[in-house]
Amino acid sequence: MTVLDQIADAIGTDRILTGVDAAPYGKDWTGAYTSTPMAVLRPANTAEVAAILKIAHATKTPIVPASGRTGLTGATLAEGALMLSVERLNEITEINVAGRTATVGAGVILSNLHDVAEEHGLIFPLTLGARGSAMIGGLLSTNAGGSNVVRYGSTRGLCLGLEVVMADGRIMNLMSALHKDNSGLDLRNLIIGAEGTLGIITAAVLKLKPKPQAYATAMVAVPSLPDALDLLHRLQDETGGGVEAFEYMPRSYIDKHMQLFPDVTGPFEAIYDINVMIEVAATRAKDARPQDDGSLPVVSALEETLGAMLENGTVLDAVIAQNDNQRSEIWKRREDAGEVAFFGGVFVNTDVAVPLDKVEAFEKALTPRIKAIDPEAEEVIVAHLGDGNIHHTSYITRNDPGVIDAMTEAVEDVVQELGGSFSAEHGIGVSKLETMKRRKDPVALDAMRAIKAALDPNNILNPGKVIPTA
């Protein structure tokens, strides 16, 4: 019997896609990474995932797990491999209001979890542009970040428990709702961010947070990035840590966005070099309760802080959303970043992190190095300024592998000099394997290889991703 025959006997032929039916799964959102899977498997429960992995382990057949395929690093390339889609593991099993947790399958779409949590007056605070297609399994496997990390942390910090099918088909039950558990090695956090190379996540227990009762959202122009950080710290002090998003969109990004979306207007009547999107959320009733004049305290707090900084010149301009439509327009400008970065010709895209006070130093150090490689290159940055995560894109004049490598290494050099990381929230996949070889501590790489060999001795789980060969 072939591998597919064995799998069909175990889970049924209706769970298996081949040929033209499987073809759409061979392409991710970016279109940059395409492959032809041997077949696409769509198990309906954890037991079926376990049955598949037992067969794959015994036959040494590679398995590539996939969720919404919205990643940016080629982590779901599955040439000649079996792709295991978790899309049918899409049940929200429980919303525990008292415990403020959600128990969900790996195939639950992020926006669906948002909607269900909101029905209970709660939120799952992870948010990103791909929320309408990204699934929980993929978000956990890449330790996704998004725009609200400044307040709530990355996906790892929002997960309490996991169910994981190991390479040999055994099911590891870590489905705890505990906030404290010191019972040995932290296997949950080892699996999160491993991109399916150590086990396949099938379910999770996630933290929920109280739904904010009001928002204050604004676009602000400042003279410098140190002024922007001063604004962030002032707002955090004034609101008790209520800043949920603090997003940097310099002039290069605004120009590129308006070029790609010609019907969109700029954030201000004037043009500024440094533009920041701010959102402050009020969870306390007293901060969201309308005053006698109809104003909201959370909005008034933002207005007062901006007003004081306008007077002393550390804020140049500000536009505060007056309704939900205006708030949505401000957010859309930021959430269009994927289209801005990935649909502008030949480019080199990076996802790095530096200390909060080093973002300006990153820009100043990198630009001359980029221009030395390609004098006509165009740089565009968008950043989660509240957590130091920078998405830097260089649009280059020719599709030359040597230029692309030199650009990538220039970014790596600056990041390393500033004590940063070459990968902040998108994961490693295949696109950053060479960077891992060059920049990751060699002892750390050896430790990763040892863990991989111990948990997946036949190297069937997403082989060729994340961990470079020795």
Per-residue pLDDT band for 393 (boundaries 50, 70, 90) equals very high
Half-sphere exposure of 110 (CA within 13 A, CB side): 24
In 3D, which of 152, 140, 128 has the Cα closest to residue 208?
152
How much of the chain is helix, strand and coil, in % rounded to 5?
40, 20, 40
Structure tokens at 152: 């709530």
pLDDT at residue 72, rounded to an integer: 84
Q: What confidence score (pLDDT) does residue 180 get?
A: 95
Token representation of residue 165: 């099918």
* Domains in the chain: ranges and CATH: 3-85 (3.30.43.10), 92-210 (3.30.465.10), 214-335 (3.30.70.2190), 344-427 (3.30.70.2740)
CA-based R_g, the chain, Å: 23
Other residues' Cβ atoms within 10 Å of the Cβ of residue 290 = 11
Question: Distance of CA 47 to CAs 5, 105, 169, 200, 203, Å?
Answer: 18, 13, 9, 12, 12
CB 350, CB 408: distance < 8 Å: yes
Q: What does DSSP assign to residue 265?
A: P
Query: What interhelical angle do 225-239 and 297-312 show, nearest 10?
Result: 150
Q: Looking at 373-429, which runs of residues are DSSP E strands?
A: 378-384, 389-395
Report whether 183 contacts 296 (CB < 8 A): no
- Residue given tokens 């949950």 in the structure block: 188
Alpha helices by DSSP H, 142-264: 149-152, 187-191, 225-239, 251-260
Q: Length of the chain, please?
A: 470
Tell whether the model's pLDDT for residue 391 goes beyond 90. Answer: yes
Q: What is the pLDDT of residues 147-202, one digit of tens each?
A: 999 999 999 999 999 999 999 999 999 999 999 999 999 999 999 999 999 999 99
pLDDT at 414: 98
Lowest mean per-residue pLDDT among 88-102, 327-341, 348-362, 434-448: 327-341
Res 345: pLDDT = 78
